Structure 1
Amino acid sequence: MIIDWHTLNREPSLPALYVRAAMRRKITGTTLPDTGLRCWVEVDPNRLAAYRKVCGFADNGLLPPTYPHILAFALQMQLLTAKEFPFPLLGLIHLSNRIRVLRPMGGVHRVRASVQVQNLQPHAKGATFDLVTSLDDQLGTLWEAESRMLCRGVKLEGEPVEEVLASTLDMMEVTRWKAPADIGRQYAKVSGDYNPIHLSAASAKLFGFPTAIAHGLWNKARTLAALSDHLPTANVEIEVQFKKPVRLPSEVTLLASAAGSSGDFQLVGAGDLEHMTGHWRPIA
């Protein structure tokens, strides 16, 4: 797919995009747009500090490996609520996320964020696509990511293909933490992601959940913060698959293999309920 890139002069307004998202409830097609969005964004020190606090990252002078998602969130919202995008944003399910940190993210103040969608595929419950995000500075690409999203009810031709991350290394308990009832609201304040399924039991029930659930990217961020001594700071790819949601409030346990250039990890709840599996690898 050849991407038709549009460069914005400033970040989109999130309140207006949430209104647009709330008004889109129907599937309008089965073809992804070839439009991509780009915009220069600034790193706000206060917002970054608040994000570190909510997610458990120490201030080591580097951007947390998950923070670029926050910098690009408004662009992602603009793309996924555009008239040309065929699926309603509300109801999309985040299945997996892979990030690549190409260079150490220290001293980052102004970067260009880029977003696009690609790789529409049939799924047993509908269709999946990849939301692709990247960050560039004056030296080139700094960070890139793919979030695989599921839209239920879409019918595509072809056989569904589902990838499964399998752990290959021995793991042991690293730590455990409690996900409090209000962590969805805390994360929303620092990320801008006010998805109703994360905010309260009442709003989550409107979408079929018995209680609020933690953001998948908060689970990943909190995990990477706990694994900061295990992980390389650059030339690393970190991939996760989201399994059973973390219902709020609850306690979770993080398992991981030993520190090194490669490793596996797993986030589990009571009764060994699997919430997230993942690994880190050198970038090939």
Structure 2
Amino acid sequence: MSMRTTELAAPPSLAGLYARAAGQAAKDALTRRSRPAVLPEREVVVTGHRIPRAAVAAWRDAVGPADPAALPSVLVHTQVFGAAMELMADPDFPLPLPGMVHLTNTVLHRRPVPAETALRVTARAVGLVPHHAGTAVDVAVTVEGPDPAGGEAVLWEGVSRYLAKGVHLTGLRPERPAREEFTAPARTAEWRLGAGAGRRYADVSGDWNPIHLTGVSARLFGMKGAIAHGMLLAARMLQGREPAAGGFRWEIEFDAPVVLPGTVAVRYEPADGQGTRVIGWDGRRGRRHFTGRIAPLAD
């Protein structure tokens, strides 16, 4: 089957995509419609996308510093995420979008991504992954733009993994892995996230997934309460540690969610070889929230 390309002039509104996906999920439940069990042969391409300076100003107000000439890596993610969401909101996508949980992110930030520069964004779903709690999907997004030599180059590329809980598409149901023993290290930082942190981040990122907004909306999807966006934690992890010239890789793997309001104990420490390892955990309960790594790209 040949790849079907959907070309857009701008990333779609995430709020509109969530509303559309929620309506489709409700309709599927009423009609008992079954979704396809395989990923569609489809890519979404946004040409000429410019990250506006208004998005940079909003980021500064809600999250942290941002240089328009070399945007924070997670800010880039928020501004191109709509292409991936367009894929996942498709009625023929095998997993329902509402309630999806973010598991991991890996990003290669090769060169600076400036505001107000024409970019080409491509999103593809690249794999379904059986999980003990359901099925996960890997979605890859590539951002291309001008390079110093006057041509086009890949500036930023990332793969995000999302879990649809309770949806098992194959007979494969991996066993729940044994919980790794975690001993909290000495903290080097602490982040305090208020009850409205999810709504505040949604306002600048456009990610209005109901699991992040209120306790009521989050509990509808099996959460104990509203949880912090994984990418907000990633943004805090990277703050002040991103090389302005690019050329770095970062990754983050989420364990227990941060229920809002919450306080995250954090440790930064040298990683094996080059780079920095980052651990975030609940200082009262001793449960790990995430493990991350920031490192220069290999030549």
TM superposition shift of 1:193: 0.7
For normalisation by structure 1, the TM-score amounts to 0.87
8 Å Cα contact 2:14-2:207 kept in structure 1: no
8 Å Cα contact 1:134-1:144 kept in structure 2: yes
Mapped partners of 1:7, 1:33: distance in 2: 16
Q: What is the aligned-residue RMSD (CA, Å)?
A: 2.7
Q: Which residue of 2 aligns with 1:146?
A: 159
Q: Which residue of 1 aligns with 2:253?
A: 241
Task: Give the counterpart of 1:268 among 269, 272, 281.
Answer: 281
Mapped partners of 2:92, 2:131: distance in 1: 22
Deviations 1:229-251 (A, max 9, x none): 47675222111101111111111
Task: Give the counterpart of 1:193 among 207, 214, 217.
Answer: 207
Q: Which residue of 2 aligns with 1:57?
A: 65
Q: Which residue of 2 aligns with 1:43?
A: 51
Q: What SS does the aligned partner of 1:117 have? A: strand
8 Å Cα contact 1:122-1:161 kept in structure 2: no
Tell me the amino acid that sits aligned with residue 269 of structure 1.
D
8 Å Cα contact 2:130-2:172 kept in structure 1: yes
For normalisation by structure 2, the TM-score amounts to 0.83
Mapped partners of 1:145, 1:264: distance in 2: 19
Mapped partners of 1:32, 1:51: distance in 2: 33
TM superposition shift of 1:212: 1.0
Mapped partners of 1:162, 1:5: distance in 2: 37
Deviations 1:10-61 (A, max 9, x none): 3324444232111132551210011000113111112112113322235474
Q: What SS does the aligned partner of 1:96 have? A: strand
Tell me the amino acid that sits aligned with residue 54 of structure 1.
A
Paired residues for 1:83-98 under 5 Å: 83-98=91-106
Mapped partners of 1:223, 1:182: distance in 2: 19
Residue 280 of structure 2 is aligned to residue 282 of structure 1: no
Paired residues for 1:48-197 under 5 Å: 48-59=56-67, 61-106=69-114, 109-138=117-146, 139-152=152-165, 153-158=167-172, 160=174, 173-197=187-211
Shift of the 67–161 alpha-carbon distance from structure 1 to 2, 3 Å rule, reads farther
User: 254-263 or 120-129: which moved more?
Assistant: 254-263
Shift of the 104–115 alpha-carbon distance from structure 1 to 2, 3 Å rule, reads same
Q: What SS does the aligned partner of 1:142 have? A: strand
8 Å Cα contact 2:70-2:114 kept in structure 1: yes
Q: Which residue of 1 aligns with 2:31?
A: none
8 Å Cα contact 1:42-1:110 kept in structure 2: yes
Shift of the 186–224 alpha-carbon distance from structure 1 to 2, 3 Å rule, reads same
TM superposition shift of 1:121: 2.1
Q: What SS does the aligned partner of 1:134 have? A: strand
Q: Which residue of 1 aligns with 2:22?
A: 22
